[in-house]
Structure 1
Amino acid sequence: MKRRILLAGLLLTTWYTQAQSPFTHGRLRVSDNQRYLVHQDGTPFFWLGDTAWELFHRLNREEAERYLKRRAAQGFTVVQAVALAELDGLNTANALGEKPLVNNDPGQPNEAYFKHVDYILDKAAENGIVVAFLPTWGDKLNKSTWGKGPEIFTTQNARAFGRWLGNRYKNRENIVWIMGGDRTPRDGSEDVAVWRTMAEGVAEGVGGHDKALMSFHPQPNALEMGGSSHWFHNDKWLDFNMLQNGHCRDTPTHDKIAFVYNRTPVKPVMDAEPIYEDHPVCFNAKDLGTSNAYDVRKYAYLDLFAGAHGHTYGCHDVWQMYAPGQEPVNGPHMAWHEALDLPAANQMQWVRKLMESRPMLDRVPDQSLIVENNYGPADRIQATRGQDYAFVYTSAGRPFTLQLGKISGKEVRAYWFDPRKGETKPAGTFANQGSQSLKPPTTGYGQDWVLILDDASRNYPLPGASR
């Protein structure tokens, strides 16, 4: 037993060491089939993100390095952070005492502030982490009750600011550009035009649209299924789509993923802000409590199996980099550095291990794999497959009937994968035809499982520790 644990630890260390040198494959681009992200040489890239919105603003250099090292060790590949930060990022200085702009003028960036950004970007690259870089939070564009303004952007200075940033960071391979910042463009305003011109400015600064992988981070909106695609799907600069689920339990975000997945032209899609761990559910902790690891896991597997190319995790205490003495937002429970090791943060490694254990680029959502394919979000069963494998996620451990013959091979081999521990156990071998009833090892609240189904002739390795 000890030998098996030691071996698993060595394999995990090797995986992370390899993961921390991704830029030898070149910067990121959209895959040839328009569904996924890959490096320039075609090497697949799995987006396992963390929302670190206040990273550049609230953390000093030692703290930022501590954060990045821990997230890299946990298998995260992306952090999402904002240059002009949400929490009064224009008027409250960063941890080094610097504000981002002189006189809140986008035409006068403060070099000292952006040298701190440079340093953190360097440390992210050293740790093998891509930074999903937001030039500004949304309330710098349109005022709202969430975050603090003032409005500073027009179509003219947004283009210039985007161009300045693009030129500054054009040689960095660990940046993905994200317009928006948790805001809905207002009807009848210049908001959409401002975001478009900022994106165009970034593209000009880096030397062309083909050198700036971009998306848009939207607010959740039940009336707009498409997230970023609602406004920008046909824009040349929008390379992939983002959604946000609104921090409530069991929102059917998987349906929104499917909606955007099926739009044309085809573009990758993902949930870039799911329910955060340790967050007031629907912003109402008194009546609904606080989110837990199970809430967080469900979104990851349901979204990915519905067609998302990657997934972002978030933690309520971490996104705001809360620490004693900082102004808290919505009742954080602990300092950011303590929250780094909450259960779901450590469980996200198993999401990545599973997805990377089989060929990623031919994977498609396929609910026809299961008979019980229309349960509600609380006990949803979601299926996805490649040419020679399939994954089925049963969010409450409900039994299901598998429709065989959907993948290659005369014989299939099945395993149960535990999303809590990353362990796998055999589930049988059977002919690849007809139907097969399967019952997860446990059932009920918090007892989610993934069925792994392989073409037996492929002899794929297990994604986690075996039992």
Structure 2
Amino acid sequence: MRVIWFIIVIFSMTTGSLLAQPLRVSDNQRFLVRSDGSPFFWLADTAWELFHRCDREEATMYLKKRKSQGFNVIQAVALAELDGLHTPNTYGETPLFNDDPATLNPAYFEHVDFIIDKAAELDMYIALLPTWGDKLHTRSWGIGPEVFNRENARKYGWWIGNRYKSRDNIIWIIGGDRTPRTDSDDVEVWQQMAKGIVEAVGGNDKALMSYHPQPRNPGGSSTWFHQDDWLDFNMHQTGHCPKDSYKNIAHDYHLKPTKPVLDGEPLYEDHPICFDAKNKGYSMARDIRRIMYWNVFAGAFGQTYGCHDVWQMYTTGQKGINGPLRPWPEALDLPMATQVRHLKNLMLSRPFLSRIPDQYMVVEDQENTKDYVIATRDEKGAFAMIYFPTGKKTRLDLSALKGDRFKSWWYNPRTGNSYRGNEITNSIDKVTITPSTHGLGNDWVLVVDSENSEFPVPGQSLIDIRTKYHD
């Protein structure tokens, strides 16, 4: 019996089931939680070409690196964007025989299996796109070929769903950078693929799923699929121009029925701003931080990061897409890749599942500029967080918080460090707050706690923050 038990344990470790728990939507329909009910802050990296361009050693190195940086979700594509049907993976395999979604190559998917299971060992989730959108319609930038229709999309969905139905660390993402065309059956094709997955895994409750669109205002996936039972949470792509993305999040946050929402593709680090490097340069960490904190404070349940060099797994000698600046292994250490964890740590250092956006806390009229100050708080008034992207002096209304006296902290999104601020008294209706530094790149979060709260220093979790403050 001891030998059998040892074998079972070793098998569990290799498949990752020992660590990764299934995720589900929280009872209030705003967040994701693990199967034990603990909160899950989605912190994803974008690695669209991971299955296609990386061998097993590279993929393992990549996953371990991102795990060490605090990431817990990896977004990757089975039928990849960059000529994924005809250019073989690093082992010489292509995913389909004769471009037919009904005849799949098991050897190709064995490599996908390996990476998914390696992620599970690290307690990481794969947000798995069954295909990139150019396999349905190429538009002007897709390679294709176009191989999907209503009939084979459902069969392919069933095949890939059946293959991974026992993996606890899969999050399904339909679509792949495509807006369904008007006067086409695109919407139905994606619905059929989703239905095939649902059938294979055994029901909607066993397939956590969303849709990855192109940039669109005001809604993203919600534009076509919000009422569909298979769509568990809404996803946006807010694109590669700096923008007021919090508007997109706020739009979906207020839709009925209530569903969680996040930005699944914001401006990438090291990306030509608005695809115009000559005139606008490349994005920097300050651009990415502003978008991420805006999104989460507006009500998103997490945030996706992306690096322009990494999503395409660019290496010297390859033909890069839109001017990558450096090989992907080097780009793993770009500033924002090490700073994103500070956002996750901050949000999990306070009650997570009771957090709501509350822009009424910011009294002043604001323009939609880089200075836009945004607020979020506990629905019972135990704490509030206010994000100052450029350190602008701002007038706040703290009347929604519990009590008359509050402790305050200043949290640095660049370093993850905190220091105590002044005690704040709510004896008057409004207080004026001035961060210590201002200007582009001088972003701060003011954390305001009720006087009798026992929360830890912002960003510093206790040994088991999942149960301490989130019961």
Which TM-score applies when normalising by structure 2?
Answer: 0.92
Q: SS at 1:164's partner residue?
A: helix
Within 5 A, what are the aligned runs for 1:182-201? 182-201=177-196
1:30 and 1:226, CA in 2 relative to 1: closer, same or farther beyond 3 A? same
Question: TM-score by structure 1 length?
Answer: 0.93
The answer to whether the Cα contact below 8 Å between 1:23 and 1:173 also exists between their aligned partners in 2 is no
| Distance (Å, rounded) in 2 between the aligned partners of 1:166 and 1:84 | 14
The yes-or-no answer on 1:321 pairing with 2:313 is: yes
CA distance in 2, matches of 1:370, 1:389: 15
Q: Check whether the contact 1:84–1:100 (CA below 8 A) recurs between aligned residues.
A: yes
The structure 1 residue matched to 2:71, chosen from 69, 76, 81, is 76
Identity %: 55
Rounded to whole Å, the distance in 2 between the matches of 1:178 and 1:363 is 25
Task: Establish whether residue 443 from structure 1 lines up as the match of residue 435 from structure 2.
Answer: no
Q: Contact conserved, 1:25 with 1:40, CA < 8 A, in 2?
A: no
1:349 to 335, 341, 346: 341
Mapped partners of 2:313, 2:127: distance in 1? 17
Q: Secondary structure at the match of 1:428?
A: coil
Q: 1:232 aligns with which of 213, 225, 233?
A: 225
Aligned partners of 2:20 and 2:78: how far apart in 1?
A: 26
Question: Could you tell me which amino acid in structure 2 is paired with residue 337 of structure 1?
Answer: P
- Aligned positions, number: 443
Report the alpha carbon displacement of residue 140 of structure 1 after superposing the two structures with TM.
0.3
Does residue 235 of structure 2 align to residue 242 of structure 1? yes
Q: After superposition, where does 1:30-429 map in structure 2 within 5 Å?
A: 30-221=25-216, 224-249=217-242, 251-372=243-364, 374-386=366-378, 387=380, 388-429=382-423
For 1:204, the aligned partner's letter is E
Letter in 1 for 2:52: H
8 Å CA contact retained: 1:367, 1:373: no
Tell me the distance in 2 between the aligned counterparts of 1:377 and 1:93: 45
Amino acid at match of 2:229: K
1:346 partner amino acid: T
- Report SS of the residue matched to 1:378: coil
Once the two structures are TM-superposed, the CA of residue 24 in structure 1 deviates from its matched residue by 5.1
Deviates more, 1:429-438 or 1:269-278: 429-438
Quote the Cα distance in structure 2 between the aligned partners of 1:25 and 1:98: 28
Q: Is the Cα contact below 8 Å between 1:52 and 1:79 reproduced in 2?
A: yes
State the match for 1:453 in structure 2.
Answer: 448
In structure 1, what residue type is equivalent to 2:113? D
Output the CA distance in 2 between the equivalents of 1:303 and 1:372.
20
CA contact (8 A) 1:373 1:382 kept: no
Q: Are the counterparts in 2 of residues 25 and 43 from structure 1 also a CA contact under 8 Å? A: no
Give the 3 Å change call, closer, same or farther, for CA 208–231 of structure 1 in structure 2: same
Q: 103-112 or 401-410, which moves further after superposition? A: 401-410
Structure 1 runs not aligned, ≥5 long: 1-20
Kindly state the Cα deviation for residue 22 of structure 1 after the two structures are TM-superposed.
9.8
Task: Give the superposition deviation at 1:409.
Answer: 3.0
SS of the counterpart of 2:283? coil
Amino acid at match of 1:342: L
Partner Cα separation in structure 2 for residue 91 and residue 456 of structure 1: 62
1:373 to partner: Cα distance: 5.2
- Decide whether aligned partners of structure 1 residues 164 and 22 sit closer, same or farther in structure 2, where only a CA change above 3 A counts: closer
User: Which contiguous aligned blocks of 4+ residues in structure 1 show a shift greater than 6 angstroms?
Assistant: none
Considering only aligned residues, what root-mean-square deviation do their CA atoms show, in Å? 1.5
Q: Distance in 2 between matches of 1:252 and 1:67?
A: 31
8 Å Cα contact 1:375-1:381 kept in structure 2: no
Question: Which one-letter code corresponds to 1:102 in the other structure?
Answer: F
For structure 2, the residue ranges without an aligned partner over 5 or more in a row are: 1-15, 462-471
